[in-house]
A and B are shown apart, each in its own frame.
Chain A
Amino acid sequence: MKKLLVISVTLVGLALTLCVPVHAQQQVRIIPAGNTPLVPAHLVNGPVPKLADGTVDLTGPWQGGGSNQDIEREGGLKPGELPLLPWAKALRDKRKERDEPYVACLPMSVPRMNPFPWKFAMSYTAKGLTHIYVLHELGDAGAHRVVYMDGRKHPDDFIPTWWGHSIGQLNGNTLVIDTVGYNDKFWFDSRGTPHTEQLHTIERWTRINYGTLVNDFTLDDPGAFSRPVQLKFTANLIRQDLELMEFICAENNQAGIAGGFQLNNEQR
């Protein structure tokens, strides 16, 4: 069944990518859209651009580079390979997609990426590069994810938050981000993979060529996983004339009406 679906999708996709000139007087181009337009394929393998100070330019904007529907599959593991503890596996299997906080316009957090663009925004002061902001068109719900680049350590004590506390450093073409202090409210994917406040993530973002950014991701959460796990995600450079646009998720979120369910109080 799945094979038939894949074939059908491929055929539909192929059919829709072809230009369909009806005749010269009535030409209509059918353009496959879907997600954010990416840079043309022939540019992807170009050299990694540098900033004026010689360091790698990680700006983007990018699409992808994280989980969305299933962190296990999208992170490069086979079904069942994600070392979830039994309670976490049971919770994941019980959860319903419609109950994900993201559906209620709450933050998607790490390492979730939806099909909308995002970028690293470098912030300089007289002391140099002190902060990197990760700006998502959608999914940060009005927060700003900040990575402290000034050499500070994590605080000893904190209130758990949706995006946690991130410290980072640049090693050549790789930005290493170490994060703790997450709350347990967001889901890793629409499938419902859970975590606890013990979550500690390490992202190693490497721009391997002009159009590609790899996220080597370490997930370490002894509260929900039996051991740390290594995942890998890839982000793609979007077409360079495009900018992040305004996206106010809460302005007209009608999720639940067609399906006859209401977003619960915790999600609102």
Chain B
Amino acid sequence: MYMKNEFGHIQAAHCENGVTTNLLRNIGVNKITEPLAFGIGSGLFFVYIPLLKINNGPAIAFRTMPGLIFKRTCASLGIEVIRKKFSSKETAEKFLMERLADGQPVGCQVGVYYLSYFPKEYRFHFNAHNLIVYGKEKDNFLISDPIMEAVTTLTTYELERVRFAKGALAPRGQIYYPKEGKIITDDQIRKAIKSGIKRNVRDMLSIPGNIAGVKGIRYTGKKIKKWRDKLGQQKAGLYLAQLVRMQEEIGTGGGGFRYIYAAFLQEAFAFHPYEEFLEISKVFTKAGDLWRNAAVQAAGIYKGRIGTQQDFNVMGDYLLEISEVEKNAFEALSNIKWHS
């Protein structure tokens, strides 16, 4: 079996942004960069689900639900998507092989626990990683994993294992790709940017409850101040370490995706020349910087260098400040007077 399809691999910060931009480029949509995909897909988010535990730590996310960025970006641009899940491994592989034979690279949702080219330290039971399969050579599937600098391979067995990882968000062999190439006009991108921003404003400012959006950041800040007494020094440190990992590990581009969003607003300016975008972009840079400063404070605690209640208060106050900064930024975005 020999099927080597050409594929222009482009590295990205985040896997889903990368799969989205790479698959779109493959069908001739060249203007969608990683920040544009992220912004059009309304990727920026925050949520802390106190009752849910992930790897014995808090469930915190800095971005929207896995899968939504691809879905929303394609929908906003009027690109039809094919998406399939499978109950049988054989059918899943057959479907994949048929697409590759057609020369169609496909996005695959996979679990990272058995992802052989990842270092062991990163292999947790996380099932919402995304990569592109673009060909097959002998027993090796050719893989473009957007977080990697270069393309890589997985054997048939290895690919099957990660496509059928089990547990929360089990991929069930999920494959997705844009149905066909289309000419995307600047006007469509302009509209997509507008709807992406409006949806992100809604998600961050008006989502009900107090655990998500800018209110969720505030809520988490208040909780953190209580972690020392409630959990004890060691476990509180572990929780903060998990917060930092969610914020900075693989693919956030730094500062919990806030820098990517700031980059998006700069790129959006090319399509909607409102000076406000450049100003608000700076506010998101500031938010990202504050998240990074908070991470340094957290590190002081989980390294055991500091750890008084006052240190936890400083940590919590960072999040209260960030909540305000992001609230102002999204309110400024919601006040934009759109001319088109």
B is bound to A: no
Q: Which residues of B contact A (CB under 8 A)?
A: none
Q: Which residues of A contact B (CB under 8 A)?
A: none
